[in-house]
Amino acid sequence: MKGRSALRCPAAEPTTLMSNQPEKPIEEIVREVGRYPLDAYHFVQECIGLAAERVHGPMSADQTAIAHWMAKNKIGPEELIQQREGDELPAEIAEALERVGGPSSMNRHVTGQELCWVIRDVALGVPVP
């Protein structure tokens, strides 16, 4: 895989939905570990986004806004729940969270099996999702 492919799903990038983000860029980590090329990490991340879209459907505008706010503020799902319970969320985020059905709607987990099927389909050129 040369460069980034059209499979990119920005809303599901690791910096969007995870807390405790690494302080190092992925390129530096790949150089240090040296086990797989950078393109392999990009490929798997793209497939994670595609798998999440296949399983959960595309993110709504509200989910995307919440995910971007979470990434900007470096908070994870647990902190989102705590801030909601403590009435500490900005009004627009609290309202968006209510419209999407609460914090559980932000869980876009996929199983290893679901991810493997998408990796297989992408490798075979099958349209995903």
Domain ranges of the chain: 36-56+108-129, 60-104
Chain centre distance of CA 83:
20
Task: Give 101's DSSP letter.
Answer: T
Q: Which residues contact 52 (CB under 8 A, 6 or more apart)?
A: 9, 12, 108, 109, 110
CA gap 55, 47 in Å, rounded: 12
How much is the pLDDT for 19? 44
User: Is residue 64 within 8 Å of residue 100, measured between CB atoms?
Assistant: no
Question: pLDDT of 113-128, one tens digit each?
Answer: 999 999 999 999 998 8
pLDDT tens by residue, 58-88: 999 999 999 999 999 999 999 999 999 999 9
